[in-house]
């Protein structure tokens, strides 16, 4: 995804719930248990049905000084293995390329593979929602800075 905002601003938006204070919209979704300067331990709540919420616990690592990468590693969740990363690249001073990559692993043979596909769909939907929100907010803030 391309975002019409500086890489540092996009990075700060993604890092805010973990390294700073979570917005009201994210307080119900992300709970930081431990926080350092470049890493956080956080619980994530994701609605997966009308009355069902999945809770995962992940480490979140931030690569600086040039904000370029955020890595997630699952510690507890609905599958035994997930690693993910958001990569940020400055395409120009005011455009950032934001990419997602991830790997999900299961056990339990065919049943585990079926479950993994189900979990992956929800996981990818959560990432898409995060990217859409970050895209909109980063571009809104960038436009506000440029306004006279």
Q: Which two tokens stand for residue 140?
A: 């809104």
146, HSE (Cβ side, Cα atoms, 13 Å): 10
Here the contacts of 122-130 (C-beta below 8 Å, separation 24 or greater) are: 122/46, 122/48, 122/54, 123/46, 123/82, 126/46, 127/84, 127/100, 127/102, 130/14
Domains of the chain by range and CATH?
Answer: 2-146 (3.30.530.20)
Contact yes or no for 59/73 (Cβ under 8 A): yes
Tens-digit pLDDT profile for residues 88-133: 999 987 999 999 999 999 999 999 999 999 999 989 999 999 999 9
21-58 residue pLDDT tens: 888 878 889 999 999 999 999 999 987 778 888 899 99
């Amino acid at each position: 995804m391309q975002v019409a905002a500086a890489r540092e601003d996009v990075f700060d938006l993604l890092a805010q719930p973990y390294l700073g204070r979570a917005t009201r919209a994210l307080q119900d979704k992300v709970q930081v248990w431990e926080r350092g300067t470049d890493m956080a331990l956080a619980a994530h709540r994701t609605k997966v049905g009308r009355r069902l919420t999945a809770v995962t616990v992940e480490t979140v690592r931030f690569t600086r000084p040039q904000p370029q990468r955020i890595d997630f590693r699952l510690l507890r969740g609905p599958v035994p293995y997930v690693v993910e990363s958001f990569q940020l690249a400055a395409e120009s001073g005011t455009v950032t390329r934001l990419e997602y990559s991830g790997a999900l692993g299961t056990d339990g043979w065919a049943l585990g593979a079926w479950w993994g596909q189900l979990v992956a769909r929800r996981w990818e939907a959560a990432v898409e929602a995060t990217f859409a929100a970050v895209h909109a907010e980063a571009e809104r803030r960038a436009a506000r800075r440029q306004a006279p």
